[in-house]
Amino acid sequence: VALHSSACLHLLSSVRPGAARVPTATVRPATVQTSCAQWSASARRFRRALPRRQPIRFILALQEHPSASAASRAEVHQAIVAACLVSKSVYDERDTRLMFVWPRAGGMRAVTVDRSLLGVTEGRFVPAELPVLEALSLEITARELAFEVALEQLLDECSRLAFASPVALRIVEGGPTEWPEGKNQAVWPTDPPLLLFLRWQGSLPLPEHATLVAPGGRVAARTLVVLQHWHTMGVLAAAVSPRGALPCRGVKGLLEDVVDLVPTPGQDVISGNLVSVQGTVVGRVRQGHVLFADFGPARAMCKEQRLGHEFRVLVAELRVGDVLHCEGLPGLDFHGAPTVFVQHIRGIEPGTQIEDTEMEEAQKENEADSQQQQR
């Protein structure tokens, strides 16, 4: 099955937590190719239908320069394929990054790679060792940095993707009895980014949140593949960034809070009681430094002045159909509409429904493909 095909995406997205069911049916390519995602007209559309995940970053410590020996070249090649190419054919650009760190006179050096490595070299890119290492060599020449600078850039990127600070984890090799429990948690795209340090000697450059035990091997690629699957299934999120119970107070409660308020034409009327609100977003409008999330009978007013960096994350991540969890002051806006004036964002829960327009477009593409095949 082609690495970037819809069939491959179907297989990778079919992994589920829990014990394997007996009997386990064999998945044959012919079956996969004819029964991929229900509305998958292309790999691009299939990617859009998959869950949005929290950011994950791998930092792999090497003993020498990535191209210094045959062993190092084999390790970095397999690590890139496992962490970036396969994963990135399923998920979007905010997902997987892989940073290589190695010692050199004058301090540690580093380079960060992701799916953009596919476009570094000219011509068709295949995940074989020679083209991957050629692209990596060009990337090192152009973007090699001191490790401290590379880490600072990584943290700055993470601050634009999530509300909370990144979680630094040390990955060590161990047996099944030490692996994380089989619990899983629904992954939200704004959960704290995960920074996973592999084969790291000494103290971490960031406060160490926990040590996570995973399967090992001669090369790091095996560990990377397992961690990717744990991440997809929500095992990592449940083990290292569990999400506390969020208040279930919905829009109805917000309407009850403002029922006694008297609207003032041209002015916002705000209550002094901080409340927690969650609501499904049916529309969003941004006006400069203010974003309005429409809940239907009420709405949330989110100002950059109040939210700070959370506002940038909100603008980038909030989509129609998502559930917005926030804290704010209930009141009436200058039009008299029930509004929560947001003071803090607790999270964005991804919506589960696919928009009807996308379904219709996918059906049209499928019909066009069928007509082309008949001709």
346-372 confidence digits (pLDDT tens): 999 988 644 444 444 444 544 554 554
Residue pLDDT, tens place only, 119-169: 777 666 667 788 889 989 999 999 999 999 999 999 998 888 888 899 999
Residue pLDDT, tens place only, 281-304: 999 999 889 999 999 999 999 999
Residue pLDDT, tens place only, 41-53: 454 555 555 557 7
On the CB side of 275, how many CA atoms lie within 13 Å of its CA? Answer: 24
- pLDDT tier for residue 330 given thresholds of 50, 70 and 90: very high
For 279, the 3-state DSSP assignment is: strand
Q: Which of 166, 158, 172 is nearest to 214 (CA)?
A: 172
Residues belonging to the chain? 375
Whether the CB-CB separation of 39 and 363 falls below 8 Å is answered with yes
Distance CA 129, CA 73 (A): 8
Spell out the residues 6+ positions from residue 64 whose beta carbon is closer than 8 angstroms to its own: 72, 102, 103
Give the helix ranges, DSSP H, for the chain. 6-13, 29-34, 43-49, 70-80, 86-88, 129-143, 147-159, 221-233, 235-240, 251-257, 304-307, 309-317, 356-374
Whether the CB-CB separation of 43 and 83 falls below 8 Å is answered with no
Q: Is 215 exposed, middle or buried (0-12, 13-18, 19+ CB in 10 A)?
A: middle
- pLDDT tier for residue 184 given thresholds of 50, 70 and 90: confident
For the ranges 76-85, 186-195, 285-294, which has the lowest average pLDDT?
Answer: 76-85
User: From the CA atom positions of the chain, what is the Rg in Å?
Assistant: 24
Q: Please name every residue paired with 328 in a beta bridge, in sequence order, or none if there are none.
A: 275, 342
**Higher local confidence (pLDDT), 28 or 217:** 217
Whether the CB-CB separation of 308 and 343 falls below 8 Å is answered with no
| CA distances for 112 relative to 72, 137, 139, 202, angstroms | 16, 12, 9, 21
- Mean pLDDT across the stretch 92-112? 85
Residue 244 confidence (pLDDT) above 50: yes
